[in-house]
Amino acid sequence: MPDERRITGARFIAEFLHAYGVTHLFYVDAILRKAMVDMEELGIRRVVTHSEKAAAYMADGYARVSGRPGACAAQSVGAANLAAGLQDAWLAGVPVLALTGKKPPLFLHRNAYQEIDHWPMFQPVTKYNVDVSAPEQLPFYLRQAMRVATTGRPGPVHVDLVGREARELELATGFAPPEVEATYARYPAHRPQPDPASIELAVQALGRAERPILVAGGGVRTSGAHDALKAMAEGLQIPVATSVNGKGTFDEGHPLSAGVVGSYSAWCANQAVHEADLVIYIGSGTGDQTTHNWQVPRIGARVIQVDIAADELGRSYPGTIGIHADARSALEQLLAAGRRHASRDAWLARVRALRQAFDEEHRARRESDDLPIRPERICRELTAALPDDAILVSDTGYTAIWAATMIQLRAPQTFIRAAGSLGWGFPASLGAKCAAPGRPVICLTGDGGFWYHFAELETARRHGIATVTVVNNNNGFSQGIPDVHRMYGDRPGNPGELYRFSDVSFAQVARDMGGFGVRVTTPGEIAPALQQAMAAGVPAVVEVMTDFSARAPDPWAPPREG
């Protein structure tokens, strides 16, 4: 018998989120206060944060780990900040539902207090950006938002609700209970199957290739294609490199692992991709970072590309054999149709030798007892300490390079990282922990990244979100130091003013907020500190004081021709 109830807009929003599997709403007050009462009754956690950007980052981390859309919200004056926080979800292809309030139409163009036209700010960072100005629009727009967020290449969506706090919609009456389209409560909502003709072209190319390599991107994680990737690599004896976003989709201790390719990379992976005679991108874009400015592989290389977004196929490499499909479906069909190549033993040995040479080159620094501590030593200790079911969250910048090149992940560990926004890592780790409360969540960030949102330690303590944050603390922005000094040249001045910070103990801050905090000053203290932090049961910070002069590995690029 159909549900004949009639409910308020507030109840509709709460029931809609609950029906679509949203367990946490990350937001800054004041928005949807009436709906928040109904959300509590339905079991949705209302996580009040200290900034709208952090709320968006938490929703992003939640979505990446849960396989469901994340949700965040802000009133009209905070909408611009929320839009800025959606940039990373947009870049990484993560479904996040952003709800904002706006003042009623009568207030427009009359200098309304705190009000700007924030709708255009969401255009560059959302797949769907709609304005709900009448109650009857709400059911249609919310359902479509979830469809758009979870289909094709997933991404953020924005629904702008009339009323600074959306009160006008909350008080509206006569809504039927929400209709749930369960298909769009998870992503990928649909798994498009590859065209048989494109599979045949790819199989023919694989049959001719003597030195093929797979490059796995974040789409492999989105698709849940880890097992299919491993099966294809082993079945057809093809080595696997990953993008930074794809790190962790293939066991890095596996003999076929080539490492992370691109600009934030291990040189062994770049060299292997450069030497390959066929590069097969699986769920990975071919932007400047993954290809190190389109040098690896070079333009003109033979490429197969599998992507759920048809317009990505061949974007950077003309002549690409494009397979428009879900990554898992395409890998399964490629393996079924392909044949193991008998003459690739020399190629596999070459890739293994490159990987072993890279590991040996950096062994001494990973095991170093130098003071100040080398960042590579942190990575070695994290590799050893991470539980098998750990989720490692990395910030961008130098942190991403250290994580990509110096931490080895094994299945079924999970890796997620900022797609470009410094400061994303810590709030995202809180969202990840909300999505997977039974799994250890460890965030690796630098002090430059942690400064952005360290106030969310209080949020974590208030809500019992027990993550471990490892801060590589060198009291400054170290990634840009070489370029700053190049700009100065021989001129006198104070270059340190551009990258140096004051010495503040984040460990003490964590303790003052009711969490666990320890400052590590010698390499031997790292392992016990990590164990104590993971056992603490409260938000924990392990602050490792490191060498400010340490430089992350430079990416390898082929010599310029001519």
Which regions of the chain are under pLDDT 50?
A: 1
Backbone phi and psi for residue 498, each to the nearest 5 degrees, phi listed first:
-85, -10
pLDDT digits (tens, 9 = 90+) for 20-37: 999 999 999 999 999 999
pLDDT digits (tens, 9 = 90+) for 113-158: 888 999 999 999 999 999 999 999 999 999 999 999 999 999 999 9
> What is the rounded distance in angstroms from the CA atom of residue 560 to the CA atom of residue 25?
51
> What is the rounded distance in angstroms from the CA atom of residue 102 to the CA atom of residue 119?
9
> What is the rounded distance in angstroms from the CA atom of residue 164 to the CA atom of residue 44?
22
Asked if the structure places residue 318 within a domain, the reply is yes
Asked if the structure places residue 395 within a domain, the reply is yes
Give the HSE-up count for residue 18: Cα atoms under 13 Å, Cβ half-sphere: 20
* Cβ-based neighbours of 285, under 8 Å, separated by 6 or more: 217, 243, 307, 312, 315
Q: 115 and 246 share a domain?
A: no
Q: 463 and 519 share a domain?
A: yes
Please state, as a whole number, how many other Cβ atoms lie within 10 Å of the Cβ of residue 362.
17
Backbone phi and psi for residue 414, each to the nearest 5 degrees, phi listed first:
-115, 140
- Going by C-alpha positions, the residue among 201, 237, 254 that lies closest to residue 340 is 237
Give the orientation angle of helix 9-19 with respect to helix 138-150, to 10 degrees. Answer: 20
Q: 251 and 397 share a domain?
A: no
Asked if the structure places residue 362 within a domain, the reply is no
Asked if the structure places residue 559 within a domain, the reply is no
Asked if the structure places residue 166 within a domain, the reply is yes
> What are the C-alpha distances in Å from 318 to residues 219, 241, 286?
21, 21, 12
End-of-domain residue from the set 158, 185, 212 = 185
In the chain, the number of structural domains is 3
Q: 283 and 203 share a domain?
A: yes
> What are the C-alpha distances in Å from 550 to residues 474, 486, 537, 553?
9, 17, 32, 10
Residue 5 confidence (pLDDT): 87
* Cβ-based neighbours of 25, under 8 Å, separated by 6 or more: 17, 39, 44, 45, 46, 47, 71, 72, 73
Q: 332 and 409 share a domain?
A: no
> What is the rounded distance in angstroms from the CA atom of residue 482 to the CA atom of residue 54?
30
pTM of model > 0.85? yes
> Domain range spanning residue 333?
196-353
Residue 109 confidence (pLDDT): 85
Do 264 and 244 contact (CB within 8 A), yes or no?
yes
Residue 266 confidence (pLDDT): 95
Q: What is the CATH number of the domain that holds 162?
A: 3.40.50.970
DSSP alpha helix (H) spans, 422-502 = 425-435, 447-453, 456-463, 481-488
Residue 241 confidence (pLDDT): 98
N residues, the chain: 562
Pairing of strands 70-74, 24-28: parallel
